[in-house]
């Protein structure tokens, strides 16, 4: 009879330890213990004592396992590539986006490319597209809900007034950035950026999107901005990598594929050696150029914005693993680049979480530790993020 009870306890341990919460574990152990007590006439006093001790040990062991699991689920994530945009920033909503993209169809130039491009979002070719919210408030609120649920702190770029509105809605969730492009009618001067920084309204200059205008990082017009960022010790996030497929034919006439190369920023790095800069989109898909820059310039970091969820997993994993295998894991930061699709954030998290070649510590590095180091967060900042 004791042997039968031990088998019962073994099943109890399996159920308890397989449970995802300590509460469920405790309830199951109590149920099993009650069953054991009901068998007192058959087990005898000694048998009952041994069985009860084993049940209590199972509860203690599995509760101990459950506590770290719950803590791990609330570990903070730094998303260094978030946007505060209008709901129609990518076209009239709702727009459905497949993650990853199911492919890039050929275009017949006899018809406008924009028709082919927007059709991908009107009738997405996948079973579970992410649909963009219909209003500005819904876009902000859905993003904030995900940030709260997943304990995300985001470097937030966009128009200054919209960034400010999102920060007012939940100040603890955002680090203030600014979308910046030379030649735009509202491009701020270096003096204006200095004033914003002094007022606490600008902590990161980025996303710098000059690539869409065909402006290279070492363009002379950018020099006063690089000098300002270096002087103020203000991090810069610059778009070097993919935009929408066929961006040239969507109005970005100056955009060129060769500008995906991380080598385009090298002269800036040499001229401004104290500059803190991260390459948004990780120079995808030009891996050799990126690895050369990371090797030659140890201060450079990258983020994986959009490529983490837009590219097919085998392609993205090959790219990320090449960076990791070359020894640069501590220079990779998580970025979603969610634009008008809040749901893309959690899909991006899943891609990193499920990468079979990353260790638990490497995932933590990418999700938080690398960005905390790059942004020079203090111990108090880190403790506050973990308390959210």
- Tens digit of each residue's pLDDT (9 = 90 or more) over 277-317: 999 999 999 999 999 999 999 999 999 999 999 999 999 99
- Tens digit of each residue's pLDDT (9 = 90 or more) over 25-65: 444 445 554 554 455 444 455 454 445 455 445 444 444 44
- DSSP 3-state assignment of 205? strand
Q: Which of 147, 145, 192, 194 is nearest to 173 (CA)?
A: 147
Going along the chain from its start, the domains and CATH numbers come out as 2-73 (no CATH), 77-387 (3.20.20.140)
Q: In the numeric block, which tokens belong to residue 153?
A: 């702190």
- Is 74 or 252 the better-scoring residue by pLDDT? 252
Pairing of strands 332-333, 301-303: parallel
Residue 182, pLDDT > 80, answer: yes
Q: In the numeric block, which tokens belong to residue 231?
A: 């002087």
Return the pLDDT at 312. 97
Cβ–Cβ under 8 Å, residues 99 and 344: yes
pTM of this prediction?
A: 0.82
Residue 81, pLDDT > 50, answer: yes
**pLDDT grade for 9, boundaries at 50, 70 and 90:** very low
C-alpha atoms less than 13 angstroms from C-alpha of 101 in its C-beta half-sphere:
15
C-alpha atoms less than 13 angstroms from C-alpha of 246 in its C-beta half-sphere:
17
**Mean pLDDT, residues 351-378 taken together:** 98
Residue 343, pLDDT > 70, answer: yes
Cβ–Cβ under 8 Å, residues 374 and 276: yes
Distance CA 221, CA 39 (A): 84
79: β partners: 154
Return the pLDDT at 74. 80
Mean pLDDT lowest among 13-22, 49-58, 147-156, 173-182? 13-22
- 220 class by beta-carbon count within 10 Å (0-12 exposed, 13-18 middle, 19+ buried): exposed
């Amino acid at each position: 009879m004791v042997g039968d009870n031990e088998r019962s306890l073994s099943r109890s341990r399996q159920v308890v330890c397989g449970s995802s919460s300590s509460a469920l574990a405790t309830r199951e152990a109590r149920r099993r213990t009650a069953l054991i007590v009901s068998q007192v006439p058959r087990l005898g006093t000694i048998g009952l004592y041994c069985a009860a001790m084993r049940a209590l040990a199972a509860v203690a062991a599995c509760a101990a396992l459950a506590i770290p699991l719950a803590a791990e689920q609330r570990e903070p994530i730094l998303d260094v590539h978030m946007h505060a945009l209008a709901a129609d920033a990518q076209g009239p909503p709702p727009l459905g986006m497949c993650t990853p993209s199911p492919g890039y169809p050929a275009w017949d130039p006899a018809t406008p490319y924009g028709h082919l491009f927007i059709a991908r979002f009107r009738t997405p070719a996948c079973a579970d597209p992410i649909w963009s919210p219909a209003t500005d408030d819904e876009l902000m609120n859905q993003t904030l809900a995900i940030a709260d649920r997943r304990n995300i702190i985001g470097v937030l770029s966009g128009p200054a007034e919209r960034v400010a509105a999102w920060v007012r809605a939940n100040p603890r969730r955002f680090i203030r950035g600014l979308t910046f492009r030379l030649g735009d009618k509202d491009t701020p001067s270096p003096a204006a950026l200095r004033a914003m920084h002094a007022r606490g309204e600008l902590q990161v200059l980025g996303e710098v999107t000059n690539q869409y205008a065909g402006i290279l990082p070492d363009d002379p017009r950018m020099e006063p901005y690089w000098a300002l960022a270096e002087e103020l010790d203000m991090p810069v996030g610059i778009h070097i990598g993919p935009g929408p497929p066929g961006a040239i034919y969507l109005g970005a006439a100056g955009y060129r594929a060769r500008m995906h190369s991380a080598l385009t920023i090298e002269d800036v790095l040499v001229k401004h050696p104290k500059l803190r800069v991260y390459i948004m989109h990780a120079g995808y898909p030009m891996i050799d150029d990126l690895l050369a820059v990371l090797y030659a310039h140890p201060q450079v970091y990258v983020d994986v914005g959009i490529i983490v969820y837009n590219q097919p997993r085998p392609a993205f994993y090959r790219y990320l693993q090449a960076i990791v295998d070359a020894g640069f894991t501590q220079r990779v930061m998580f970025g979603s680049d969610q634009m008008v699709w809040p749901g893309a954030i959690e899909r991006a998290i899943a891609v990193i979480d499920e990468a079979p070649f990353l260790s638990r510590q490497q995932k933590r590095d990418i999700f938080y530790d690398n960005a905390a180091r790059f942004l020079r967060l203090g111990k108090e900042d880190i403790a506050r993020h973990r308390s959210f």
